[in-house]
Amino acid sequence: MKSKVLKIRNLPSDMQVLNEIKVKPIGSLLFLVAVAGIFIISGSSIAIVGVVLLAVSAYALLVMPDRLLMQFTSDYLVLYNRKNRDECMLIWWDEIVAWQYQKHNNEDTLWLELTDGHVESIECFNRGRVVSYFKVYARGKERQQNPRRRRAPAENRERNERKARS
């Protein structure tokens, strides 16, 4: 198996990165700064909202740390979100058996199963970019979530009648 955990300094130097995902959503924050600027320029009572929006987005842009989560190449994927910040996980596309993007209320998770049975999961914040690369380079390996079983209307009616009788 070629996929492994390595030190970041040992990554191939000739790595051709197609795209990368970071924690901080810079595009969205810059959009908020622009909206805040429009609110402030408008001069109406909404200018106060603009000042607050500008303060929050400027704080997020300038003070909060940014961190690299993953990088995509045509041959492999590099996951950086590990306990030891000096390490990363290099995963070859052909060694992915199954993958799934799991959406949760507080955070999303990318779940990967490798050929040796090892399961890797990583927090994700940008579903569109992640899924688009996986649909190209790990095509046909997406694991579908089990849909919840919905009750038929007759079943619901019978259950409600039983509750009413008891």
Beta bridge partners of 4: 90
pLDDT digits (tens, 9 = 90+) for 138-151: 888 888 765 444 45
Cross-strand bridge partners of residue 77: 72, 91
- The per-residue pLDDT for range 80-111, each reduced to its tens digit, is 877 888 888 899 998 988 998 888 778 788 88
Burial of 36 (0-12, 13-18, 19+ CB in 10 A): buried
Classified by CATH at the fold level, domain 71-137 comes out as: PH-domain like (2.30.29)
- For the stretch 56-91, what's the b/e string if a residue is b when 16 or more beta carbons lie within 10 angstroms of its beta carbon? ebeebeeeeeeeebbbbbeebbbbbbeeeeeebbbb
pLDDT digits (tens, 9 = 90+) for 61-74: 999 888 888 899 98
The residues spanned by each domain of the chain are 26-62, 71-137
- For the chain, the straight-line distance linking the first and the last C-alpha, in angstroms and rounded, comes to 60
Q: What is the model's pTM?
A: 0.70
SS3 3: coil
Asked if 18 and 136 count as a contact pair (C-beta separation under 8 A), the reply is no
